[in-house]
Amino acid sequence: MSNLPRIRRLGPLDWASPLPDHVTENMNGATLFRVPDWVEGRLGHYYLYFAHHEGHYIRLAHADSVTGPWTLVDGGALHRDECPWVATHIASPDLRIEEEDRRIVMYFHGDMTDPKGQFSFRAESTDGVTFTPDPHRLGTFYFRHFDHGGRVHALGKARIYRSDDGGRTFEQGPLVYPLSPETPGQIGPQALRHSAVLVEGDMAHVVFSRIGDAPEALRYGTMGLHGDWRDWRIEDHGVILSPDADFEGGDMPAVPSEEGKIMEFQRALRDPHLFRDDGRVFLVYSFGGEAGLAMARFQLA
């Protein structure tokens, strides 16, 4: 596909004051939205959520402009202690606004020992700050939801899910992007790590990165949303944003990324999120591996 989206970097997020060390140690899985007018006592016009790969709570920041400056909320939004079924950490927040019911939904993941693994869960809020989590397992980790055809769908890593009850429970579907060619049936090199989805009509525009790429970069794909949802597949059109800027580690060597967390600065981009606001689309992503959050303008050709 020759008509790739155009990307214009806006740089690292602008913070109103320096962030504490325990926050800057690892920053990933960002998502943001415009706060609905019906939210009482809102802290700003926009809320930004993100995580630490081994975090005990979901980070929350607010701003009056989508480009910041952002103010960190002490204590965040949802704590692991509120999720007693989770073993060690919660992360990867994905937010959904349910206007009719005046409800803010957060999909997030946590790890469990019985059954062993990482799974996505749902939490609800009326203000975007205090959430009530539900222990029901929805699917695998790294959920990114999207609406189409009157239903809620989600990508959980490279697998598609569909909900018939407004996003409370999900049916698991097939893989929409191949797992690693080197380790068939398993997560490994060239497997999709984390995705962002923007739907226009019957087309989903998907931004994602892959484990093992050198350097790990943001790729662009399309997924036609017609016919049987079990037949949907992502067509990969290639890299649209490579970690070439100085703040992204552009002067560092390109090395293959690995599965899981990264605590040191690496020339790599991860964890994209697409946000539409007043006709503009913004791309938020982790840079330096998981060293910080940056923003770019995303414009379809």
| Alpha-carbon span 180 to 192, nearest angstrom | 9
Closest CA to 271 of 292, 251, 240, 301: 292
Residue-level pLDDT at 2: 57
Structure tokens at 82: 């509120």
Sequence-distant (6+) residues with CB within 8 A of 70 are 13, 14, 15, 16, 48, 61, 62, 63
Q: Tell me: the pLDDT tens digits for 95-118?
A: 999 999 999 999 999 999 999 999
End-to-end CA distance of the chain: give it in Å, rounded: 11
Chain centroid to CA 190 = 18
| Average pLDDT taken over every residue of the chain | 95
Q: Tell me: the pLDDT tens digits for 156-170?
A: 999 999 999 999 999
Residue-level pLDDT at 181: 78
Return the number of other C-beta atoms located less than 10 Å from residue 41's C-beta. 6
Return the number of other C-beta atoms located less than 10 Å from residue 148's C-beta. 18
Q: Which amino acid is at 10?
A: L
Prior bond of 69 cis (ω within 30°): yes
Q: Tell me: the pLDDT tens digits for 247-273?
A: 999 999 999 998 888 999 999 999 999
- Does the domain made of 6-299 have the CATH classification 3.40.50.2300? no
Burial class of residue 39, CB neighbours in 10 A (0-12, 13-18, 19+):
middle
Give the whole-number percent of the chain exceeding pLDDT 70. 99
Q: Where are the domains of the chain?
A: 6-299
Q: Order of strands across the sheet with 203-210?
A: 192-200, 203-210, 218-224, 235-241
Q: Is the pLDDT of residue 1 over 70?
A: no
Q: Tell me: the pLDDT tens digits for 33-87?
A: 999 999 999 999 999 999 999 999 999 999 999 999 999 999 999 999 999 999 9
Give the whole-number percent of the chain exceeding pLDDT 90. 92
Q: Is the pLDDT of residue 239 over 60?
A: yes
Sequence-distant (6+) residues with CB within 8 A of 187 are 157, 179, 180, 211, 259
Q: What is the mean pLDDT of residues 264-286?
A: 97
Q: Tell me: the pLDDT tens digits for 180-220?
A: 877 777 777 789 999 999 999 999 999 999 999 999 999 99
Structure tokens at 170: 């999900």
Q: Order of strands across the sheet with 280-287?
A: 6-12, 292-299, 280-287, 269-277
Q: Is the pLDDT of residue 237 over 80?
A: yes
| Alpha-carbon span 112 to 54, nearest angstrom | 13
pTM, 2 dp = 0.96
Indicate the Cα dihedral angle 34, 38, 42, 46, nearest 10°: 0
Residue-level pLDDT at 260: 87
Q: Tell me: the pLDDT tens digits for 4-44?
A: 999 999 999 999 999 999 999 999 999 999 999 999 999 99
